[in-house]
Amino acid sequence: MSKARPVDLPAPDLPALEHALKRWLAAQPTSDQAHDVGHIERVVVSCKQLAKQENASLEVVVPAAWLHDCVSLPKNHPQRAQASSLAAERAAQVLLELGYPKALLPEVQHAIRAHSFSAGIPCETIEAKILQDADRLDALGAIGIARCLQVSCALKRPLYHPIDPLCETRQPDDSLAAIDHFHTKLFSLSEKMNTESGKAEGERRTQYMREFLHQLGSEINAGEA
């Protein structure tokens, strides 16, 4: 569970803080459409829902959600695994400038550092677990499919490999095609959720993705009869 906030520490004004963070993010340049403000806003909404269900601190998880990708590096960037740590440092600077309580910064920074799949940092608080689940949920379902295709287009990768497009017999390799990424990472995310509510939603979204692949396969093979 999260640490209790000291009774003499004033609670941050979350509505005002969120308004300021949204304005700050809107002013930041982005070249990664899969990690744009829309992604951030969806993760914030999921975090709030999960936090209420898991009795977590909104004072920590909300600013962490708004700033979890304030430093975002492309999937093929050599420092990709350090992106969440760089974001945590930047987040602390931004929050201090906005008057956020310094005593809460370590929890916010840990949540940001640990949320990343590629960082491999264990989640030690419920807020970190919630942020990780919320971020992973946005990689699943209809929006997850769309974001996967956005990333693959940016990396100039085709939708599917001409040989065994759905990876039924060959080993998937997401450096070759977008659909392969479903098998190398996305289909395993629901099993790795930290919270029961996150796992249930993850399984629902994963099933939608499997149905999408079934339909895609029927359309690919439509002319082979």
**Cβ atoms of residues 56 and 127 within 8 Å:** yes
**Which phi and psi angles does 26 have, rounded to 5°?**
-65, -25
**Cβ atoms of residues 131 and 65 within 8 Å:** yes
Q: What is the CATH number of the domain that holds 161?
A: 1.20.58.1910
The count of domains in the chain is 2
In a domain, 9, yes or no: no
Same domain flag for 188 and 89 = no
Q: Of 92, 126, 160, which one is at a domain's C-terminal end?
A: 126
Per-residue pLDDT, 78: 57
Per-residue pLDDT, 82: 79
Per-residue pLDDT, 100: 95
**Cβ atoms of residues 105 and 92 within 8 Å:** yes
Same domain flag for 215 and 172 = yes
Same domain flag for 99 and 178 = no
Residues in the chain with pLDDT values less than 70:
1-10, 31, 73-81, 222-225
Same domain flag for 117 and 188 = no
Residue 91 sits in which domain range? 14-126
Per-residue pLDDT, 74: 62
- Residue 217's contacts (CB-CB under 8 Å, 6 or more residues apart) are 165, 166
Same domain flag for 112 and 181 = no
In a domain, 106, yes or no: yes
Distance in Å from the first CA to the final CA of the chain: 57
Same domain flag for 65 and 109 = yes
Distance CA 21, CA 24 (A): 5
How far CA 45 is from CA of 17, 63, 134, 176, 181, in Å, comes to: 15, 12, 8, 33, 25
In a domain, 35, yes or no: yes
Per-residue pLDDT, 7: 46
Question: What's the pLDDT tens digit per position in 125-149?
Answer: 999 999 999 999 999 999 999 999 9
Per-residue pLDDT, 224: 60
Per-residue pLDDT, 1: 42
